[in-house]
């Protein structure tokens, strides 16, 4: 998995026979690649050629992460049934009928000599869905409890929420920005990839007028099914709401509270009756964000359910690969808005 945060690749080795994660390997993105990916999020010169070259560059890095994972786990590639590769999203426009993830899956299959399942979003979009979020189906398979109403909150670049009520329909959607705006702001002003433990945000004060203006975006009022990404929430979007004389730390504090407030509104509106909330994704390790989120509901990380928070999303795409290989549906139509359950993913045999 390489997500909206553009920090790097998380690879996990999942044994579905034992329902066990047997290994985890993280490969950071080179800064040069991250910069090229950021540029591709906006229209520019020679896009098709640049996208093709970056796809191959990503495939090489994906192959390196697979090799690192297998070496760490001391397991042969011959023991692997398939690689589930999400690819790197550079455009997500389901309203126009497409979502683009780069990665050159055929090259990845050649480099690793392992079957690759990829392109998980396109079939759901073809069936009238958003193509996202796809992780709620995995959350339901792994974390649903017959006696406890749970909500699973994934805070990556974008935050998405899964509601797991007792004996009722699973629902889920993208709440809005997760870490993405905070990461971009601290990178611009302090040259750091992210705000570790929310320390910089903790030094600032919330700007109430700015927070209100940001929360006024139409996206937050849209009913599910809905999904979003860097196409909508980015630094240019943020700058349209700024006066220009705000203290940068105060803006960081406000962005942290934007993430927390949009999540809180989503839980209150769409997860009525939830008894527990479990966090996963990079944001689960941000104590300042977690403290802001804590209210009347108990909040834990998925570590408590046996799956470390930073491994959940990569494990979800291993599960989607397994679904594809077994010709089983991978989407939840009530989450994505697709016309029905669909087998997701294109398979590239070894």
Same domain, 303 and 316: no
* 15 beta partners: 20
Q: Which H helix or E strand runs over 185?
A: helix 180-190
Give the C-alpha separation, 296 to 272, whole Å. 12
pLDDT at 334 over 90: yes
pLDDT at 124 over 70: yes
Find the mean pLDDT for residues 98-125.
98
Q: What percent of the chain has pLDDT over 90?
A: 95
Same domain, 160 and 230: yes
Is residue 165 within 8 A of residue 149, CB to CB? The reply is: yes
Give the C-alpha separation, 14 to 312, whole Å. 11
Same domain, 116 and 148: no
> What residue has token string 């896009």?
47
Same domain, 258 and 276: yes
Residue 1: inside a domain: no
Same domain, 260 and 199: yes
DSSP 330: -
Q: What percent of the chain has pLDDT over 70?
A: 100
pLDDT tens for each residue of 149-180: 999 999 999 999 999 999 999 999 999 999 99
* pLDDT of res. 270: 95
pLDDT tens for each residue of 52-89: 999 999 999 999 999 999 999 999 999 999 999 999 99
Residue 2: inside a domain: no
Same domain, 154 and 234: yes
Q: What are the distances in angstroms from CA 12 to CA 54, 101, 129?
A: 23, 19, 27
- In this structure, what CATH number is given to the domain that contains residue 305? 3.30.420.40
pLDDT at 140 over 80: yes
* pLDDT of res. 296: 67
Task: Give the domain range for residue 203.
Answer: 135-310
Residue 122: inside a domain: yes
Same domain, 139 and 59: no
Same domain, 104 and 20: yes
Residue 41: inside a domain: yes
- Domains in the chain: how many in total? 2
* pLDDT of res. 242: 97
With a CB cutoff of 8 Å and minimum separation 6, the contacts of 58 are 2, 33, 87, 88, 102, 103, 104
pLDDT tens for each residue of 271-292: 999 999 999 999 999 999 999 9
Give the C-alpha separation, 262 to 216, whole Å. 11
Give the C-alpha separation, 18 to 316, whole Å. 16
* pLDDT of res. 19: 87
pLDDT at 126 over 90: yes
Same domain, 274 and 150: yes
Following DSSP, what letter does each residue of 214-253 receive, concatenated? HHTSGGGGSPSS----TTTSSHHHHHTT--S-S-HHHHHH
Residue 338: inside a domain: yes
Residue 156: inside a domain: yes
Same domain, 224 and 141: yes
Same domain, 220 and 153: yes
CA 161 to chain centre: 11
pLDDT at 117 over 80: yes
């Amino acid at each position: 998995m390489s997500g909206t945060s553009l920090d790097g690749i998380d690879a996990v080795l999942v044994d579905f026979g034992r329902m066990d994660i047997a290994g985890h390997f993280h490969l950071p993105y080179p800064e040069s690649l991250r910069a090229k990916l950021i540029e591709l999020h906006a229209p520019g010169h020679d896009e098709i050629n640049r996208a093709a070259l970056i796809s191959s560059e990503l495939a090489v890095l994906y192959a390196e992460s697979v090799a690192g994972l297998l070496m760490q786990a001391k397991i042969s590639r011959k023991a692997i049934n398939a690689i589930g590769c999400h690819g790197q999203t550079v455009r997500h426009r389901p309203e126009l009928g497409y979502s683009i993830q780069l990665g050159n899956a055929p090259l990845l299959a050649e480099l690793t000599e392992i079957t690759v399942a990829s392109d998980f979003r396109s079939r759901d979009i073809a069936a009238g869905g958003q193509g996202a979020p796809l992780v709620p189906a995995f959350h339901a398979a792994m974390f649903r409890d017959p006696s406890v109403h749970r909500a699973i909150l994934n805070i990556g670049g974008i935050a998405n929420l899964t509601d797991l009520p007792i004996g009722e329909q699973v629902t889920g959607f993208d709440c809005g920005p997760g870490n993405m705006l905070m990461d971009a702001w601290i990178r611009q002003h302090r040259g750091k990839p992210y705000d570790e433990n929310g320390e910089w945000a903790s030094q600032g004060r919330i700007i109430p007028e700015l927070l209100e203006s940001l929360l006024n975006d139409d996206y937050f009022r849209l009913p599910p099914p809905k999904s979003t990404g860097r196409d909508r929430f980015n630094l240019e979007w943020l700058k349209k709401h700024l006066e220009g004389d705000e203290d940068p730390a105060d803006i960081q504090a406000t962005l942290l509270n934007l993430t927390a407030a949009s999540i809180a509104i989503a839980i209150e509106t769409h997860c009525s009756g939830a008894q527990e909330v479990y966090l996963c994704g990079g944001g689960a390790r941000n104590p300042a964000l977690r403290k802001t989120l804590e209210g009347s509901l108990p909040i834990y990380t998925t570590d408590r359910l046996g799956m470390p928070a930073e491994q959940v999303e990569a494990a979800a795409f291993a599960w989607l690969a397994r679904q594809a290989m077994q010709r089983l549906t991978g989407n939840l139509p009530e989450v994505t808005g697709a016309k029905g359950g669909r087998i997701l993913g294109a398979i590239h045999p070894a």
